[in-house]
């Protein structure tokens, strides 16, 4: 399988960390592709009409995307405990945390546009402030909702890769939340995280 990747994407990293955690990373050929809303990458567009990574190319089937779908697919390729719980309340808790983490990353990307990437005369400070409010509210919610006793699942991977990216991009910090900070610092030591360190800048 081929994974279209980006070394500074929280979403692509989430898929690759998941692959490491379930023991199938050695079955992937990882190819870095630069993408952004203002950079047309023809190779990526040929496989994903949204022009975004990650994209998983399978030898005998059509490509799949995005990271949520790729992780769900990866979870069918191993014989260990599933990281997407199949039923019960555990399933909804895992999917809920994944959803918040994905939304947090998307909000961080939007905040970067309003404070750094968009031409200065086109930036909208009120919108940037709204994004900051969503980020802080998300941090507070995760601090209170994170279940230290929950079995490891896809939501934890989504959260860790998002928080790592937020710090990498110098976005509003989460480290005033003691529980969340302890959890993240422990997670970041996992081999899957150490094997997929973020690097590089966005190219438009």
Report pLDDT for 190: 98
Q: What angle do CA 181, 5, 165 make, to 5 degrees?
A: 20
CATH, domain 88-190, list 1.20.140.10, 1.20.1050.10, 3.90.420.10, 2.60.40.10: 1.20.1050.10
**Statement: 2-74 belongs to CATH 3.40.30.10:** yes
The pTM (predicted TM-score) of the whole model is 0.96
Task: Decide: 184 and 4 in contact? Cβ < 8 Å.
Answer: no
Report pLDDT for 202: 86
DSSP 8-state class, residue 190 = S
Helices (H), 113-148: 125-145
Query: Mean pLDDT over residues 140-161, rounded?
Result: 95
- The residues with which 150 forms a beta bridge, in sequence order, are none
Confidence tier at 131 by pLDDT (50, 70, 90): very high
CA 171 – CA 138 distance, rounded (Å): 13
Confidence tier at 162 by pLDDT (50, 70, 90): very high
Segments making up each domain of the chain, as ranges: 2-74, 88-190
Residues 136-146 have pLDDT tens digits of 999 999 999 99
Residues 49-68 have pLDDT tens digits of 999 999 999 999 999 999 99
Residue 203 scores a pLDDT above 90: no
CA 13 – CA 111 distance, rounded (Å): 20
Confidence tier at 188 by pLDDT (50, 70, 90): very high
Query: Mean pLDDT over residues 101-109, rounded?
Result: 98
DSSP 8-state class, residue 117 = I
């Amino acid at each position: 399988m081929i994974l279209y990747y980006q070394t500074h994407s929280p979403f692509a990293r989430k898929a690759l960390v998941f692959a490491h955690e379930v023991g199938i990373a050695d079955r992937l050929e990882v190819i870095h592709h630069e993408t952004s809303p203002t950079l047309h990458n023809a190779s990526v567009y040929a496989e994903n009409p949204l022009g975004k990574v990650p994209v998983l190319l399978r030898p005998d089937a059509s490509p799949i995307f995005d990271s949520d779908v790729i992780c769900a697919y990866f979870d069918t390729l191993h014989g260990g405990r599933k990281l997407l719980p199949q039923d019960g309340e555990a399933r909804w808790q895992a999917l809920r945390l994944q959803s918040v983490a994905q939304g947090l990353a998307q909000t961080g990307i939007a905040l970067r546009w309003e404070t750094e990437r968009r031409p200065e005369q086109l930036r909208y400070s009120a919108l940037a402030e709204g994004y900051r409010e969503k980020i802080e509210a998300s941090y507070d919610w995760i601090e209170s909702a994170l279940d230290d006793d929950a079995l490891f699942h896809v939501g934890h991977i989504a959260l860790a890769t998002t928080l790592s990216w937020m710090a990498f991009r110098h976005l509003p910090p989460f480290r005033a939340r003691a529980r969340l900070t302890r959890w993240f610092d422990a997670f970041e030591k996992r081999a899957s995280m150490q094997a997929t360190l973020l690097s590089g800048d966005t190219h438009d």
